Amino acid sequence: MRRALSVGVLMILVATGVVARPVKPVGTGWQEAHEPAGQEADPAAAPADAFALIDAQLAAFNAHDVNAMVANLAEDFAWFAVDPDMTRVELRGREEFRRSMEPYFASVPGARAEIEERLNVGRFAAVRERAYWLRGGEEVSQASLAVYEIRDGQIRRVWYYPVE
């Protein structure tokens, strides 16, 4: 259930105004996913409508439209869970994402989310999102931080930080 909630919250994540530095993962392609320190991001990699893409992803999440969510993802999409002492790959690729979201929506039919804050830094966009669902007939929520890497108009990578 923790992974299912995490995957759902992934699409309902939170930007606090400070982008945390990811912890170097072992064996996850760190070098290809990150530019060397001091190298500027390619402005063409972060279109002005990065938040429009994230808004579309959130709207698809709220509609429980897995096909629309998958269409927003790059072919080499990867989602990383950032824990206090490590970063791990939670899922990789569009189809693995689809296989996670379909049972999530079936088990949490009232899931929805909203963005509370936003921050854009080059090709990276951070959002603070609040997820809502029903537990025991009462609506509950939690907020979280996610950092999205946007490339060529698609979501390439997401780093999901612990729920607050």
Q: Is residue 8 in a domain?
A: yes
Q: Give the pLDDT confidence of 85-144 residue by residue, as tens digits.
A: 899 999 999 999 999 999 999 999 899 999 999 998 888 999 999 999 999 999 999 999
Q: Is residue 30 in a domain?
A: no
How many domains is the chain partitioned into structurally?
1
Q: Is residue 124 in a domain?
A: yes
**Confidence at 49, pLDDT banded by 50, 70, 90:** confident
Beta bridge partners of 73: 155
Q: Is residue 154 in a domain?
A: yes
Q: Is residue 81 in a domain?
A: yes
pLDDT of res. 25: 37
With beta carbons less than 8 A apart as the criterion, state whether 84 and 106 touch: no
Q: How many CB atoms lie within 10 A of CB 104?
A: 23
Q: Is residue 23 in a domain?
A: no
Distance CA 83, CA 101 (A): 21
C-alpha 120: how far from its chain's center?
Answer: 14
Distance CA 90, CA 77 (A): 11
Q: Is residue 63 in a domain?
A: yes
What DSSP element (H or E) covers 158? strand 154-160
With beta carbons less than 8 A apart as the criterion, state whether 12 and 110 touch: no
Q: What is the span of the domain harbouring residue 129?
A: 2-17+59-160
Which tokens is 94 given?
A: 């569009």
CA-derived radius of gyration, the chain: 15
Higher pLDDT, 43 or 104: 104
Specify the CATH number for the domain of residue 64.
3.10.450.50
Identify which of 17-26, 49-58, 92-101 has the greatest average pLDDT.
92-101
With beta carbons less than 8 A apart as the criterion, state whether 132 and 112 touch: yes
Q: Is residue 133 in a domain?
A: yes
